[in-house]
Amino acid sequence: MANQSFIPPQRILMGPGPSDVSPRVLEAVGRPTIGHLDPAFVGMMDDMKSLLQYAFKTDNALTFPVSAPGSAGMETCFANLVEPGDKVIICQNGVFGGRMKENVIRGGATPVMVEDEWGKVVDPGKLEDALKANPDAKIVAFVHAETSTGAQSDAQTLVKLAHQYDCLTIVDAVTSLGGSPLKVDEWEIDAIYSGTQKCLSSPPGLSPVSFNEHAAEVIKSRKTPVQSWFLDLNLVMGYWGSGAKRAYHHTAPINNLYGLHEALVILKEEGLENSWARHEAMHQALRAGFEAMGLSFVVKEGDRLPQLNAVTIPDGIDDAEVRGKLLNDYNLEIGAGLGALAGKVWRVGLMGHAANRHNVVYCLSALETVLSQLGAGIEKGVAVEAAMAKL
């Protein structure tokens, strides 16, 4: 049989990412490819920087998308700011804090772990104890929105604490950018990274980052070369600088950048604060439906991430079977639990373009039908009504 074009099925993406991509963004990705040093493209790059500054709420000059997914944004921050022999305090309350630890070890530095139970937020008291015990620490790193559990830590408080003990901060905002309040300048975050495939609803493959002047100074005055040539910001900024005099560094993913640009234009049109409010409103409706059905949340109220809802799987119900039925019968994707929560929870995303009334109602209706078919002990016929009361 001859190879044929790949035509993907039409899905509704309500997992932990990627999220549904707006038709406007998909159309943008299909526009004509031009050279990555073309004056027209360079003009788009300048506009992209100002749109990213808007999304991050920052004036940082060093704000741009890394030409790779969110994990490379993480690596950009660690590879540029961490030197061999440094001590880095890492707050871990889920999967992604563990990845930060890996970056520190591979950079020849020493991680000091501040661990909280999965589903809990980072405890500022524990962080302060670690800062007192390690006065030689250089950096504090933590995840703002932990996608593996749906917990949202208090970034402002954690950054303030780190600065009291003369530490730089690295913040993972992969799932919070565009969906939850995030104020880089006001909270004085030194280095931050995100991804395009969550609340920005652009295809995966780019990682917006931002560094303040303090962090940029640390990078410029390193004693050792950045271990990654590709991610070395001293080189990359020759390309992502400003104006027409850009040095060739790598061939940027041109069409993917068109998509991110369009996604950021859509965010600006809606208004950042309006986007935050929409994610919260859709979360409250979905939450009402889940709780009416009898499903409970992993994270306590007040610490929940609106765009990532981790709910416990009813007794006697097979996780994979439910997700398989939702995918095959309803073209609906929800996420499985990771690590310590594997097989115990579902992670239901409400991100970006997918955070809308139709998806909330569709998800609740489909999940209730599947769980009823499998004999789960849930309340039937009440979830959609409870959600609609919130909408």
What are the pLDDT digits (tens) for 282-302? 999 999 999 999 999 999 999
Least confident stretch, 159-168, 242-251, 283-292, 345-354: 242-251
Number of residues assigned to the chain:
391
Residues of the chain with CATH 3.40.640.10: 23-268
DSSP bridge partners of 309 = 348
What topology does CATH give the domain 272-390? Aspartate Aminotransferase, domain 1 (3.90.1150)
Convert the pLDDT of each residue in 22-36 to its tens digit.
Answer: 999 999 999 999 998
pLDDT(101) > 80: yes
Q: Give span(s): CATH 3.90.1150.10, the chain.
A: 272-390
Q: What is the pLDDT of residue 245?
A: 65
Mean pLDDT highest for which of 35-39, 40-44, 106-110? 106-110
CA distance 383 to 275: 25
121-141: average pLDDT: 98
Q: What is the pLDDT of residues 324-333, one digit of tens each?
A: 999 999 999 9
* Residues 345-385 pLDDT 10s: 999 999 999 999 999 999 999 999 999 999 999 999 999 99
Show the tokens assigned to 197: 């495939």
CA distance 77 to 191: 7
Give me the phi and psi of 60, to 5 degrees please.
Answer: -55, 125
Residue whose structure tokens are 């790059």: 45
Name the phi and psi angles at 43, rounded to 5: -65, -40
CA distance 170 to 107: 15
> What is the structure's pLDDT at 240?
83
**Residue 61 class from Cβ within 10 Å (0-12 exposed, 13-18 middle, 19+ buried)?**
middle
pTM of the model: 0.97
In this structure, whether the domain defined by 23-268 belongs to CATH 3.40.50.12780 is answered with no
Q: Is the pLDDT of residue 115 over 60?
A: yes
- Residue 388: its pLDDT value, please? 97
| CA distance linking residue 320 with residue 346, whole number of Å | 10
Mean pLDDT within 53-78: 97
